[in-house]
Structure formats: C-alpha cells, structure tokens
A and B are shown apart, each in its own frame.
Chain A
Amino acid sequence: MADAKWMLKMAARDFRKTGTKLVLFVSAIVTGIAALVAISSFGDNLRKDIDRQAKELLGADLVLSNNADFGIDDLDTLSAERAREINFASMVAFPGKGESRLTQVRALEGDFPFYGSFEAEPEQSESDFRAGGKKALVEQLLLKQFDAKVGDSIKVGEVVFEIAGALTKVPGQTGITATVAPAVYIPMEYLEETGLVQFGSRVNYLRYFALTGQEDAPEIIEAYKEHWEEEGIRYEDVEARKQSTGRSFGNLSNFLSLVAFIAVLLGCVGVASAINVFVKEKLPSVAVLRCLGVTAAKIFGIYLMQIFIMGGIGSLVGAGLGTALQYVLPLVFSDFLPVEVTVELSWSAIMLGTGTGILISLLFALIPLLKIRTVSPMMTLRPEAATIRFGKDPLRWAVVGLIVLFMVGFSYYLLRNWEQTFWFTGYVFFAFGLLWMIALGIMKLVKRFLPLWMAYPFRQALANLYRPNNQTVALIATIGLGTAMISTLFFVQYQLLDEVRFADKEDQPNMLFFDIQTSQVEAVSQKLTDADLPILQEVPIVTMRLNAVNGINKRVNEQLPEEEKRSGGLYNREFRVTYRDELISSERIVKGELVPYLEPGDSIFVSLEKGYAERNRLEIGDEIVFNVQGRPMTTYVGSYRDVNFRQVSTNFLVVFPEKVLENAPKFHVLITKTGSDQEAANLQNEIVRDFPNVSVINLATIVDTLEEILGKISFVIQFMALFSIITGVLVLISSLIISKFQRIKENILLRTIGAGTKVLVKINTLEYLFLGSLAALSGILLSIIAAALLSIYTFEIPFRMEWALLGAVYLGITALTVFLGWWNSRDILKTSTMEVLRD
C-alpha cells in the first residue's frame, strides 16, 4: 500500500515535467475513441427510437400484401380502421416541362398512416389531398429534380393531377428508397381512370389495418397465417417491422463501429511509437533508480501508472467528444434513417469507448514499456550497457497475443460472424504487416544505398528517415492505412460507376421500354423505327409462380428437415419468364442444352440461370411445376445458363422454349440504343406521352441514380474514415514534437557549419515529401489490393485501374504531410543557438 502510494507520488513528480508530452502521445487515440463512442451512442439511440416509434414505422398494426387483389372479410370486422393501397412502377410526366421519369405510383384509399403521418409541405397539404379531387402528394426529391412546385400538374397515366404537397417523409421510408423510386400518392378513385393497371402489369395490393385492441396482431397472424400463406399473401406487423429495421441498422452501426475501431488501432500504433521514444528517454532515469535500490517492478509501476492515467484521460476526452459528435450524426445519416433520432447520453457506449481506449492503449504502450524491466543499473556507469534484446522477452509476445485476442474479440462482438471477423482482422494484420515491411525495407535500402551522387539536401532528407528515435514506421503505418481506407472507398465507388458508364461506350443497348401490352408492341416498334433507332431485342415476358419441385410443394417443403428444405423464396417468388429457342449475347450454356418444344405432348425443358439453380439446388432433369396465371404447367430443367447481369438487357432466371407460352397473358420489353442523351430524353417523352402505361429506363438515369446513392453511402463511410485521417495527422504532429529537440540540434549544427535557412527548409520539405509519398503510395497499394478483391469477389465486375483518382489521393495526402511538416518546423528554424545550450 505504502509502495503504491510512493509509486503514485513518483509518477506524479515525473508527470509534472514530461506530462504534456505524454498527453500529446495519447491524444492519437482521442479521435478514434470519439468516433467509436459517437457511432455506438448513435446506434443505441437509434435502437431505442426504433422501439419507440415502431408503430410509426409501419403506420398500421398489420399490413397484408399480395400481387393479386384479395379481400379479407374477417379482418374487416376485427379491425378498427382499414386502408387500401395499390402500387406499381410507372412513368409520370410533368406537363409543360416535357420530362418524365419512372416512379412508384401509390393509389391510396383510407386514412393510412394510422400512426404517425405523412410529412408534407405545405402543412395543410395532407388534408387537402384527403379532401378529394384530382390531387397528388409527390416526393419532394422528384419535384426538385424536375423543378416543379406545389400547385403544378403531374400526369399519371391518362390523368392529370394537381400537386397538393411535397412529401418529405413517408412512414418507414428512407431518403435512399426515395432516390430509387420516388413515390407519387394519388386517390384510389382515379386509379381506374389512369388506365395504368392492365393485364400483366406488375402491381402490389396492400391492406393496412388498425386493430380494435380486442385481439393483437400476433394472435391474428397466428390464426390466419396458414390461410394467407396458401394464398401467397405476405404479412407484417409492428414487431416484425421493428425487428427487420432494427437488424439492418444494427448491422450498419456495427459496421461503422468497425471503421471507427480502425481509427482507434491507428491511434494505438501512434501511441506505441511515441511511448517507445518516451521509454528510450527514460532509460537513464530507470538505471539511476535501480542504483538507488528501487526494484524493477516498482519502476515499471511508476511508468505504467502514468500511461494508464493518460490513456484514461485520452479515452474520456474521446468519449466526451464522441458524445458531442452525436449531434452531428443525424445530419450525416439523414438519408438513411427511417425514424427521428433523439440524442441522449449513452452510458453503455461511453463505457465501451473508454474501456476499449484504456485497455488497448495500455496494451500497445506495454510493448515498448516492458523494456523498462530489463534495464541494467550498469547503464549509469556505462551508458551503452546492454539491455535484454528486444524480441526475446516472452512477455512482449504475450502482450502481442493479447492485442490480437482483443482485436478478434472486438470484431466478433461487432460482426457476430466468425468468417467476417477472420477477413477483417486478417486484412488489418496484412495491411499493418505490409506497411511495416515497406517502411522497414525502405529504411534499410536508404541506409544501405544512400546515393552519393545526390545533392546534399536530398541525401540529408533521406538519411533523416532513419535518424535515431525516428517515427518512420509508425507514420507510414498510420498515414498509409488512413490513406488506404479513403482511397479504397473512392476506388470502389468509381469502379461501380464506371462499370455502368462503360456499358454505354461499348455499343451496348442503353434504353429499355417495358410493360408494353401485346397490342402496343407494333406501335411502339414503329415509333423506334421512325426515329431511325434499332430494335435490339423484343422480349415477351410472362409472369408465373412455382408450385412444386419434384412433387414437393411449399407445404411439404416446410415440413422437410432443415438441411433438405429449399428456400421459401423459391415458392413465394413471382418469376418473370421469357421464351425463345436461342441464346442472347449476355449468356451462354454451361450445362445441358436448350431443348426446343417441337409438338404438343413433348416435355417442356426450361433453362435456369446457373447461380440461382445452384443456390436452390435445382438439378438438370428436376421436374418443376409452374403456375402460369392459374394454369399448372409441368416442366423439366434442361440446362444451366451463365448470365452476365451487368449488361443493360433483359436477363432471366428462367427461359422457356417457344411455342409453349405464346397464348399466356404477357407484356413486352423493347430494347434499343440511342445516340445522344438528348435523343434519348426526347424519345422517352414521346413514348410516355403516347403510351402512358409503358415504363422507360435509360442508362443515363441509372447512372445518375447510382451516382446519387453511392454518393450518399460513401459520404457516410468517408465521414467515419475521416477519423482515421485525423488520427494519422495527430500521430504525425506528435512525432514532430517528439523529434523537435533533436531537429533543433541538427539544424543548429548544420547552421553552424554553414547551411543557410533555404537549405534547411529544403531538407525539411524533402523529408516530409519522402515520408508523405511513401505513406500515400503504400496506402494506395493497399487500396488497389482491397479494391481488386472487392471488385472480383464481392461485386463481380472486372477490375479497372483508376489512375486519376489514385493520383489525386497521392497528391492530397503528400501535400497534407508536407504542409504539416513545414508548419511544425517553422519555429525550429527560428530557434537561436543559445537556446539549445541552455536547455
């Protein structure tokens, strides 16, 4: 006890003089901890808010949906309120503006949402809309896009509505969904008149219920479940919505916590490196204390206490900052949030952050600190007296083991998946290892082959990279990894966009018309021909469901043991199927063959997309009974096709032979290639005007939408990755301060032997140019590897270099490093010779 008190006293005494330095050393973890605390507080609050606002998320107690109209009479008596919605994708046009785009039209009847409300501007617009008349509520985003405003007209099918209000929020919908398919609400009574719901159209029928309270949703679901499943009706209650929303946001916040954790790790590398220098400076004092008779354990304790306290302060400051940062996060995430997020203190997040910070900074600091135990008191008599060799200390390896264990544990805690944990920690280790090796390798090379022919400032700057107490490795690791994160993000984003853009250049189709009725095919084709455009494909589409595979229907399948069961999605899916006897350019047969249907009575052989077939264990020769709009049709799997889904084309999971489905109800798709974007826009508007039920997708729109979505996603990730860059900057600054005294001495020495300020500045700038370049290039190398892996394995697109992007990243990071180096060395250059002697 007395010992601990004395140790604390000594720690405090030591801290007086070197404390400010230590504060700087541990400051590197502050940003990481702040990010971690901010994101997990935010996640906590979001979870609470999803719980609290669960009813508003769904807007009702129970929602049923199907792609055919259905009546639920029993429920009508059980419920207090009912609402009906019919929705489908359709083009809308803004008369007078001559422009159109694909939206989701929702015909509404009843007072949905029963909980929460539409948020629309102006305020009275919702009641205005509900009061009746040809009025529509339109997603604000859509209005902005077409420069339309409340009071303007919008044409949905054959009907022109007045825009009653701009929707800013629809229950349970996020900004992202609005980007993909902005919603247009119209009154149900005018649906018929639009003429959009026709035979073969893909329409969703929804029913919303508010219950009376006599029976709750789970009870009702339990009672009707079987019946609904038989009819293919999907159901969702508040609890189910709460869970699915909670799950996806849980995943998001865990993923972002992981990004924050990387910043913490980077900070720790900085801490370890700074403590390493700190320990080196302390070794003489340690030797003196040994001479005075202080035991190794006590001396170790004195310094451990200081680092523990500093780690604690750093973590607490980080936690405080992180809590404050929470106020910003709702803005960052605004496009993704389905609920209003409140900002509250989250003690669990603060504890998680502080605990993580203290523990991991201590672990990293221990690696250099352990050296203190092995200092020989002989060092007082002979300064070069040896300490035990670095790597040989078994405790050091134990600490490294603990760090690995902590990392794996923490990642698993966030990911709850061993495979992902393995990949994540594996790549982090690989990245650190690579950066470490690059740094060491470069230092060795420079030391060995420092070219004599180089001008003096170059040589001196290069030599500075391996000066005693240098931070080269730590800087390359932290700045490099920070660079790698940012660069990978942009890289992947650019890759995905380019993939879509290039499709245009490669003479691929770029415009797709769908939902064309059989009676309209000829007229639409004629329009294209008149406009001198090629009809690249004309594809009939028949919708059907799957009844049974090898005699096993949905009911039987559900009773099978888990490992024999096929995914329920197979039975619930609405298949869009085409028929033809040959392949198109985006596909090839990989197994079996296309078997034509020659005469009545022949077996029907269908061709399946390979991946889908394999995922659902559908083998060549299996018997599949499809339900073609009420008529069962027995088929056999004849072949697998490998389909390239990247092309703008109609790709199918199931292809039938000709002469089987010709008489089934169907719709058509036409594909063409236009020249300029203007030509495409004109054609689109003309078709939409003449054939309101036909929907159009053109490549330019897809690129725009994708760009917007990726931009939003990457903004969030970049925001988190920013913390890593800031951490790198902090490590850089602290390393500059650590080496300041040494730099001043060097500079004065150089000045006394006649080097002018110009030369000194040159040396300084060059040193940081080398360092920044090395770090940036290593980071870029890592990002190339990561982006290549992601492209090939996750996104399945060919890998393409993005030279311009990488060049920009290189310049940015190097410039930042040089700037910080220059900024910090201004006063070094100004110091007079005397000051050094006096210190």
Chain B
Amino acid sequence: MGNEDFYPSKMNILQVQNLTKTYQSGNRKLTVLDGVTFEVMPGETLSIVGPSGSGKTTLLGLCAGLDTASAGSVLLDGEPLEKMSEDQRALLRNRSVGFIFQNFQLLPTLTALENVMVPLELKGRKDAQKVALNLLDQVGLADRATHYPTQLSGGEQQRVSIARAFANEPKILFADEPTGNLDTETGEMIEGLIFKLNEEKGTTLILVTHDLELAQKTQQIINIKGGKLQEVTHG
C-alpha cells in the first residue's frame, strides 16, 4: 500500500482509501460503505450520485471529518482524519473546509451577517464584518444583512449559507444536495452561484446530488450503489 500514498506529480486535496462504514443494529452488522477509494485534486469538482440510501451522505460526512470511519483512511488537505481527535478535526474544518447543506443550517439566533461572520471570527479576523458584508454583496443579499434566517426565504437562506461557506476561503467545499429543498429556478441560480464562486476562488467542490444534469457539470462523477463504488466518470 505504501507506494499508493505517494503522488509525485501533484499533491491531492482529498484522498479516500478503502473507506468502510458499518453500523451495528442489534446483532446485525450493516455495511453502509464498503471499500470506497478515490481521490480529488485541488480545484477539481466532483459529484457523488446514487440511489437513495446508497451511502452518499455517509461518504460526504466521512470525507469532511464529521464522522469516523470503521476502516480505511481519509487524507484531507494532507491530514489523516482517522488519526485526529474531534477537536483537531474541528480546527481543520475551520481552516480548510466549507459546507452547504440541503436544509441551509443557518444559526437561527444570528442575523445573516453574523452567520457569515462566525467562521471569520473563529479565525480571529479583525475585518470579519467587512469581509462578510462583501460576501453577502456577492450573493446579492447586502441589504438583508441584519435579517434573521426566519425572515428570509429558502433561496435567500441558501445564499447566506453559501456566503458563509466561502467566508473562510476554504480549500474544499462540501455540499449535500444544496438545491434539494428549492424549486428548479432558484436551484439553478444557487448552482450558478456555487460554480461561479468556486471558479473565482479556486475551491475544490464535492457535491452530493440526485440531479444528473447538475452532476454532469462537474469534472468527476462517482456513482455508488449499496455502499460500493460502481463507476468513476471523468468529464
């Protein structure tokens, strides 16, 4: 295996090796992910597709270090997740990772602006407010900065969450069905925004989606079924 760790040409941003996740339910062992291996280069876009229950979300969570694998390894920005504590992973997330969720996941007690500011403040940035306002402007919501999430529509909330995701200038962005809760038109607008920012900032994008049309827009598509990697398509 040793030589597989070695990539002479270019350093990858995410490397997944033989990743396996099992759940114990009663005395039955449920294998949700089974020996998945792939890698992503910096700036690349990748989508994960597959039927419902196939293990997409599980895979995403493991790649982002939100969960721990049963076996196999994940190398995220050169750091082996399985060897890190939850707090170390949290710091790594703050430094290099951004998230966009299907159900937006804004903090309900914070205004739009403050939601975007949190990752910056965590980094100790003094210009958090300025940067955040600028980002809100980029997603077209500068005038809604002081509004709370409940005062925003679903599409607006997702735009705030995109601004938040890009706030700490992540090297890699994870998105789990970012348009799943939106109508087609709004969904397309959100997609456009994600790809645009992604391109501008040179961020790596990992996208889980049911939407094959959306998946076609990424450079790499991995298809999983029953926890197993079916095929990898390079666009």
A binding-site residues for B, Cβ under 8 Å: 2, 6, 9-10, 13-14, 16-18, 284-285, 287-297, 376-378, 380-382, 385, 839
Point out which of B66, B93, B106, B121 has the most chain A C-beta atoms below 10 A from its C-beta.
B66
Decide if B195 is an interface residue (CB 8 Å cutoff): no
Q: How far is the CA of A820 from the CA of B64 in the complex (A)?
A: 49
> 13 A–B contact pairs at CB < 8 A?
A9-B121, A13-B109, A285-B108, A289-B107, A291-B93, A293-B91, A294-B90, A294-B122, A295-B90, A377-B66, A380-B101, A381-B66, A382-B57
Contact assessment for B66 and A288 in the assembled complex, using a CB-CB cutoff below 8 Å: no
When C-beta atoms are compared, the residue in chain A nearest to B208 turns out to be A381
- B94 touches which one: A10, A13, A284, A294 (CB < 8 A)? A294
8 further contact pairs, Cβ within 8 A, besides A296-B90, A380-B105, A382-B61 = A288-B107, A289-B118, A292-B94, A292-B99, A296-B87, A297-B87, A378-B61, A381-B57
Query: What A residues does B64 contact at CB under 8 A?
Result: 291
B binding-site residues for A, Cβ under 8 Å: 57, 60-61, 64, 66-67, 86-87, 90-95, 97, 99, 101, 105-110, 114, 118-119, 121-122, 124, 148, 150, 164, 176
Contact assessment for A292 and B93 in the assembled complex, using a CB-CB cutoff below 8 Å: yes
Q: How far is the CA of A13 from the CA of B121 in the complex (A)?
A: 13
- B119 touches which one: A285, A292, A297, A381 (CB < 8 A)? A292
Query: What B residues does A377 contact at CB under 8 A?
Result: 66-67, 90, 93
Contact assessment for A376 and B67 in the assembled complex, using a CB-CB cutoff below 8 Å: yes
**4 nearest CB pairs, A to B:** A293-B94, A17-B109, A293-B93, A377-B66
Q: How far is the CA of A382 from the CA of B119 in the complex (A)?
A: 22
Contact assessment for A13 and B87 in the assembled complex, using a CB-CB cutoff below 8 Å: no
In the assembled complex, how far is the CB of residue A834 from the closest CB belonging to chain B, in whole angstroms?
Answer: 15
Contact assessment for A293 and B108 in the assembled complex, using a CB-CB cutoff below 8 Å: no
Query: What A residues does B66 contact at CB under 8 A?
Result: 290-291, 376-378, 380-381
Q: How far is the CA of A332 from the CA of B95 in the complex (A)?
A: 64
Query: What B residues does A289 contact at CB under 8 A?
Result: 107, 118
- B60 touches which one: A16, A284, A297, A381 (CB < 8 A)? A381
Query: What B residues does A381 contact at CB under 8 A?
Result: 57, 60-61, 66, 101, 176
Query: What A residues does B87 contact at CB under 8 A?
Result: 295-297
Query: What A residues does B118 contact at CB under 8 A?
Result: 10, 289, 292, 294
Q: How far is the CA of A236 from the CA of B114 in the complex (A)?
A: 74
Interface of B, secondary structure class, is: helix
In the assembled complex, how far is the CB of residue B175 from the closest CB belonging to chain A, in whole angstroms?
Answer: 11
In the assembled complex, how far is the CB of residue B49 from the closest CB belonging to chain A, in whole angstroms?
Answer: 16
Q: How far is the CA of A17 from the CA of B147 in the complex (A)?
A: 12
Contact assessment for B105 and A284 in the assembled complex, using a CB-CB cutoff below 8 Å: yes
Contact assessment for B90 and A288 in the assembled complex, using a CB-CB cutoff below 8 Å: no
Query: What A residues does B92 contact at CB under 8 A?
Result: 293
Q: How far is the CA of A294 from the CA of B118 in the complex (A)?
A: 9
Q: How far is the CA of A18 from the CA of B99 in the complex (A)?
A: 25
Contact assessment for B109 and A16 in the assembled complex, using a CB-CB cutoff below 8 Å: yes
Query: What B residues does A291 contact at CB under 8 A?
Result: 64, 66, 93, 99, 105
In the assembled complex, how far is the CB of residue A722 from the closest CB belonging to chain B, in whole angstroms?
Answer: 37
Contact assessment for B105 and A293 in the assembled complex, using a CB-CB cutoff below 8 Å: no
In the assembled complex, how far is the CB of residue B224 from the closest CB belonging to chain A, in whole angstroms?
Answer: 15
In the assembled complex, how far is the CB of residue A6 from the closest CB belonging to chain B, in whole angstroms?
Answer: 6
Contact assessment for A290 and B105 in the assembled complex, using a CB-CB cutoff below 8 Å: no
Q: How far is the CA of A292 from the CA of B97 in the complex (A)?
A: 8
Q: How far is the CA of A45 from the CA of B230 in the complex (A)?
A: 82
Query: What B residues does A287 contact at CB under 8 A?
Result: 105
Contact assessment for A290 and B90 in the assembled complex, using a CB-CB cutoff below 8 Å: yes
Query: What A residues does B101 contact at CB under 8 A?
Result: 380-381
- A378 touches which one: B67, B91, B150 (CB < 8 A)? B67
Contact assessment for B60 and A293 in the assembled complex, using a CB-CB cutoff below 8 Å: no
Contact assessment for A380 and B67 in the assembled complex, using a CB-CB cutoff below 8 Å: no
Point out which of A18, A293, A380 has the most chain B C-beta atoms below 10 A from its C-beta.
A293
Contact assessment for B90 and A285 in the assembled complex, using a CB-CB cutoff below 8 Å: no
Q: How far is the CA of A381 from the CA of B67 in the complex (A)?
A: 11
- B107 touches which one: A9, A285, A297, A376 (CB < 8 A)? A285
Query: What A residues does B94 contact at CB under 8 A?
Result: 292-294
In the assembled complex, how far is the CB of residue B119 from the closest CB belonging to chain A, in whole angstroms?
Answer: 5
Q: How far is the CA of A293 from the CA of B61 in the complex (A)?
A: 14
Q: How far is the CA of A618 from the CA of B150 in the complex (A)?
A: 83
In the assembled complex, how far is the CB of residue A641 from the closest CB belonging to chain B, in whole angstroms?
Answer: 71
Q: How far is the CA of A310 from the CA of B67 in the complex (A)?
A: 34
- A296 touches which one: B86, B119, B150 (CB < 8 A)? B86
Query: What A residues does B164 contact at CB under 8 A?
Result: 292
When C-beta atoms are compared, the residue in chain B nearest to A291 turns out to be B99
When C-beta atoms are compared, the residue in chain B nearest to A17 turns out to be B109
Contact assessment for A295 and B91 in the assembled complex, using a CB-CB cutoff below 8 Å: yes
Query: What A residues does B67 contact at CB under 8 A?
Result: 376-378, 385
Q: How far is the CA of A294 from the CA of B124 in the complex (A)?
A: 12
Q: How far is the CA of A6 from the CA of B67 in the complex (A)?
A: 26
Q: How far is the CA of A380 from the CA of B61 in the complex (A)?
A: 9
Query: What A residues does B107 contact at CB under 8 A?
Result: 285, 288-289
Contact assessment for A14 and B109 in the assembled complex, using a CB-CB cutoff below 8 Å: yes
Query: What B residues does A16 contact at CB under 8 A?
Result: 109
Q: How far is the CA of A18 from the CA of B107 in the complex (A)?
A: 12
Query: What A residues does B122 contact at CB under 8 A?
Result: 6, 292-294
Q: How far is the CA of A115 from the CA of B95 in the complex (A)?
A: 80
Q: How far is the CA of A451 from the CA of B200 in the complex (A)?
A: 64
Query: What B residues does A297 contact at CB under 8 A?
Result: 87
Query: What B residues does A14 contact at CB under 8 A?
Result: 109-110
Query: What B residues does A295 contact at CB under 8 A?
Result: 87, 90-91
When C-beta atoms are compared, the residue in chain B nearest to A281 turns out to be B108
Query: What A residues does B106 contact at CB under 8 A?
Result: 288
Contact assessment for B108 and A17 in the assembled complex, using a CB-CB cutoff below 8 Å: yes
In the assembled complex, how far is the CB of residue A437 from the closest CB belonging to chain B, in whole angstroms?
Answer: 29
Query: What A residues does B109 contact at CB under 8 A?
Result: 13-14, 16-18, 285
Q: How far is the CA of A10 from the CA of B110 in the complex (A)?
A: 9
Q: How far is the CA of A288 from the CA of B124 in the complex (A)?
A: 19
Point out which of A6, A289, A295 has the most chain B C-beta atoms below 10 A from its C-beta.
A295
When C-beta atoms are compared, the residue in chain B nearest to A287 turns out to be B105
In the assembled complex, how far is the CB of residue A418 from the closest CB belonging to chain B, in whole angstroms?
Answer: 44
Point out which of A18, A287, A288, A376 has the most chain B C-beta atoms below 10 A from its C-beta.
A288
In the assembled complex, how far is the CB of residue A531 from the closest CB belonging to chain B, in whole angstroms?
Answer: 85
With A284-B105, A376-B67, A380-B105 given, is the CB distance from A293 to B95 under 8 Å? yes
Contact assessment for A6 and B57 in the assembled complex, using a CB-CB cutoff below 8 Å: no
Q: How far is the CA of A380 from the CA of B161 in the complex (A)?
A: 13
Contact assessment for B114 and A293 in the assembled complex, using a CB-CB cutoff below 8 Å: no
Q: How far is the CA of A161 from the CA of B135 in the complex (A)?
A: 99
Point out which of A6, A378, A381 has the most chain B C-beta atoms below 10 A from its C-beta.
A381
In the assembled complex, how far is the CB of residue A19 from the closest CB belonging to chain B, in whole angstroms?
Answer: 9
In the assembled complex, how far is the CB of residue B155 from the closest CB belonging to chain A, in whole angstroms?
Answer: 17
- A2 touches which one: B86, B124, B150 (CB < 8 A)? B124
Query: What B residues does A18 contact at CB under 8 A?
Result: 109
Q: How far is the CA of A382 from the CA of B23 in the complex (A)?
A: 15
Contact assessment for A6 and B86 in the assembled complex, using a CB-CB cutoff below 8 Å: no
When C-beta atoms are compared, the residue in chain A nearest to B121 turns out to be A6
When C-beta atoms are compared, the residue in chain A nearest to B67 turns out to be A378
Q: How far is the CA of A291 from the CA of B98 in the complex (A)?
A: 8
Point out which of A292, A296, A376, A382 has the most chain B C-beta atoms below 10 A from its C-beta.
A292
Query: What B residues does A292 contact at CB under 8 A?
Result: 93-94, 99, 118-119, 122, 164
When C-beta atoms are compared, the residue in chain A nearest to B88 turns out to be A295
Q: How far is the CA of A196 from the CA of B61 in the complex (A)?
A: 99
Query: What B residues does A10 contact at CB under 8 A?
Result: 118
Q: How far is the CA of A405 from the CA of B93 in the complex (A)?
A: 41
Query: What A residues does B108 contact at CB under 8 A?
Result: 17, 285
